[in-house]
Structure 1
Amino acid sequence: MTEFDDPLYQLVVEACKHPPGSLPRQRNLTKVIRLVSPKLWREYTPYYQDALQQTWTYFCQNVCEKGTGEKYDPARSSITTWLNYYLRRRLQDHFIQQQKQQALQASSQVWGAKSGEPGELMNPIDLVPAPPDVPPILEAVKAWAEADATGELCATHIKGHPEVNCQVLILRRLPPETSWKALAEEFGLAIPTLSTFYQRQCVPRLRKFGESEGYV
């Protein structure tokens, strides 16, 4: 069987028939992700999930692109091989970055000891904002919550607090998520009140949407 006959490749072909951001493309790419995930390189490092997320973002952004040199070429490798190669490159990048951060931290600790100014160390790298990676699934959830076509999300709120409803909480808890502590301070409510409402009222509606779209 050639790569062109691979069922994964056929899903990619079907996905690429549809425009970026469309639900048909997202559904087919999600199917590919589910099938490829068990076959990808695994390792137990603190940065593995970050590298994996970069890989899926890369996949969704480049698998259908033409003329960029990044587009998947079934004549050269399988989809799994293509993504494993990218994943291991990202893991190597994270390893190198970790080594640099550890060296910088060690240097900062020495400097702090000499200056006699103990305190929290600030890594300059932390001051550089990371580019947002928005997977297609998150885009779909955000669009669904913002539209709230039936009005159900806005209508479902904490008693006496219509401003604290499922639409608001779902959007605020999407990556990069707002912490429960920050939300509690903003709305003047206890963290357990917010989190319990979210789990009991918002999560079931979120899951129902995911099931209807084939994400879960």
Structure 2
Amino acid sequence: MPETKNEENNLSQQLQQLVAEACSHPPKSLMRRQKLSEIVRLIVKSGKLWQEATPHYNDALQQTWVYFCRNVCVCKDNTTNKPYDPNLGSVITWLDKYLKMRLKDFSISQIEHQNRVISPSISEESEAINIIYNVENPPTHSDSPLVILEETKKWVLADPEGELKSVHIKKRPDVTCQILILKRLPPETCWEKIGLEFNLPPSTAPNFYKRECLPRLRNFAKKQGYLE
């Protein structure tokens, strides 16, 4: 038991040191991104972050990494009043609290929408998220999850080949791959809300997204080196 406690203390001290180093570098600098990625890898490897076998755990986890990157040094999230304060607890305790809040949000949302007819499988949703947040096998250029998300959004908006804007649901040129990918990037809009917004049958948007949008998103991630 004492050894376990010592290990936890050592991990906490190591994480706090890395946070201090990350925050000593300018925002968006390569050195800060490298340190943030190092922290994420260390937390994942430790297995100390809260875990549970629930359908939306992976989604909540990815939102937690976004929150971490945005708020560990300076506050950019209106759900919190302060950046991480080492005097109030360890990095993992701080992230555990946020992760549990997001899981609670998903649980409430699931209850509210329990009568939905269809949604993609968890594994498919997880695959889409992992394209953006490949934290266990981070990209070679050491970008943080938030940077990868921002770069992906830039690609979707720019649509350099014009493909995302031109590929759309049959007879619905207003519902394109570009629109659906943007809505499904974290923090994603649920399929039921998307169906209501565009007046679509429950299965239409998720089936189209799986068939047409995910492969294009995956190809972009491979070209950028985010996926093997």
Q: 37, 44, 63: which is aligned to 1:37?
A: 44
Bigger CA radius of gyration: 1
CA contact (8 A) 1:27 1:214 kept: no
**How many Å apart are 1:154 and its aligned residue?**
0.6
Q: 185, 209, 226: which is aligned to 1:215?
A: 226
In structure 1, stretches of 5+ residues that fail to align are: 73-80, 98-134
Give me the whole-angstrom Cα distance separating, in 1, the residues matched to 2:189 and 2:96. 31
Give me the whole-angstrom Cα distance separating, in 2, the residues matched to 1:185 and 1:89. 32
Tell me the secondary structure at the aligned position of residue 164 of structure 1. Answer: strand
Q: 81, 85, 91: which is aligned to 1:83?
A: 91
Q: Which moved more, 1:28-37 or 1:163-172?
A: 28-37
Partner of 2:160: 149
Matched, 1:182 2:190: no
Question: 1:1-216, aligned counterparts within 5 Å?
Answer: 19-20=27-28, 29-30=36-37, 32-41=39-48, 42-44=50-52, 56-57=65-66, 59-61=68-70, 70=84, 83-88=91-96, 136=146, 137-216=148-227
Give me the whole-angstrom Cα distance separating, in 2, the residues matched to 1:192 and 1:48. 23
CA contact (8 A) 1:15 1:26 kept: no
In structure 2, what residue type is equivalent to 1:83?
Answer: V
Tell me the secondary structure at the aligned position of residue 191 of structure 1. Answer: coil
CA contact (8 A) 1:14 1:28 kept: yes
Higher relative contact order (CA 8 A, sep 6+): 2
Q: Give TM-score scaled by structure 2 length.
A: 0.49
- Kindly report the root-mean-square deviation, in angstroms, between the aligned alpha carbons of the 2 structures: 4.8
Alpha carbons of structure 1 residues 27 and 143: separation in structure 2 relative to 1, 3 Å:
farther
Q: Give TM-score scaled by structure 1 length.
A: 0.51
CA contact (8 A) 1:18 1:25 kept: yes
In structure 2, what residue type is equivalent to 1:154?
Answer: K
For 1:92-124, what per-residue CA distance to the aligned partner results, in whole angstroms no more than 9, with x for missing partners?
Answer: x85xx9xxxxxxxxxxxxxxxxxxxxxxxxxxx
Tell me the secondary structure at the aligned position of residue 184 of structure 1. Answer: helix
Alpha carbons of structure 1 residues 211 and 184: separation in structure 2 relative to 1, 3 Å:
same
CA contact (8 A) 2:183 2:189 kept: yes
Identity %: 42
For 1:127-166, what per-residue CA distance to the aligned partner results, in whole angstroms no more than 9, with x for missing partners?
Answer: xxxxxxxx61433332221121221111211233222110
Q: Which moved more, 1:200-209 or 1:46-55?
A: 46-55
Alpha carbons of structure 1 residues 54 and 141: separation in structure 2 relative to 1, 3 Å:
closer
Give me the whole-angstrom Cα distance separating, in 2, the residues matched to 1:158 and 1:69. 42
**How many Å apart are 1:89 and its aligned residue?**
5.6
Q: Which moved more, 1:137-146 or 1:194-203?
A: 137-146
